[in-house]
Each structure stands twice: as C-alpha cells, then as structure tokens.
C-alpha cells in the first residue's frame, strides 16, 4: 500500500497541472530570487505568476525546507 503524500508536497501535482511547469522549475525560480524571506517569495509567485496563496506557500515552504537540509 502506498503512503499518502502529506504537507506541501501534496499540492505538487495540482501546481504542475495548473501552472504548466515542473516543481523543479518552480524551485529553481524561487532559489534564483534575491530575497529568501518566505512571505516575499509567496507574494512574488502570486503577483508575477498568478499563483494562488496555498500553492505559492507550499512551494516556498518546501524549497526553504530543502535549503535548510531538513527532511
């Protein structure tokens, strides 16, 4: 039996389907931004890419988690 995906990653399939980029592409864009502040990155995704708050927040949270080396 496969374990259900939880947390920010649970949004990833719908993010890819709705916005037409892979999660790795989105994370690369986030990492390339000069700011590393969570809410500034969320606002940028919403304003520049038309992303909803939940999707933007999930991407930023997971990207920052990876940057910190957390699992």
The DSSP-derived string for 3-69 is PPP-GGGGGHHHHHHHHSS-HHHHHHHHHHSS---HHHHHHHHHHHH---HHHHHHHHHHHHHHHTT
Tokens of residue 28, six digits: 């690369």
Is 61 part of any domain? yes
The pLDDT of residue 1 is above 60: no
Is 59 part of any domain? yes
Is 18 part of any domain? yes
Is 4 part of any domain? no
Is 37 part of any domain? yes
Is 2 part of any domain? no
Report residue 8's pLDDT band, with 50, 70 and 90 as the boundaries: confident
pLDDT confidence of residue 18: 96
Q: Which residue range forms the structural domain that includes residue 41?
A: 9-67
Q: How far apart are CA 27 and CA 67, in angstroms?
A: 10
* Residue 35 or residue 47, greater confidence: 47
Mean pLDDT (whole number) for 47-55: 97
Report residue 57's pLDDT band, with 50, 70 and 90 as the boundaries: very high
């Amino acid at each position: 039996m496969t374990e259900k995906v939880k947390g920010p990653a649970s949004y990833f399939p719908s993010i890819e389907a709705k916005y037409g980029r892979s999660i790795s592409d989105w994370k690369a864009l986030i990492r390339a931004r000069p700011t590393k502040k969570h809410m500034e990155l969320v606002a940028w995704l919403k304003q520049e890419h038309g992303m909803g708050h939940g999707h933007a927040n999930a991407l930023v949270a997971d990207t920052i988690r990876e940057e910190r080396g957390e699992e």
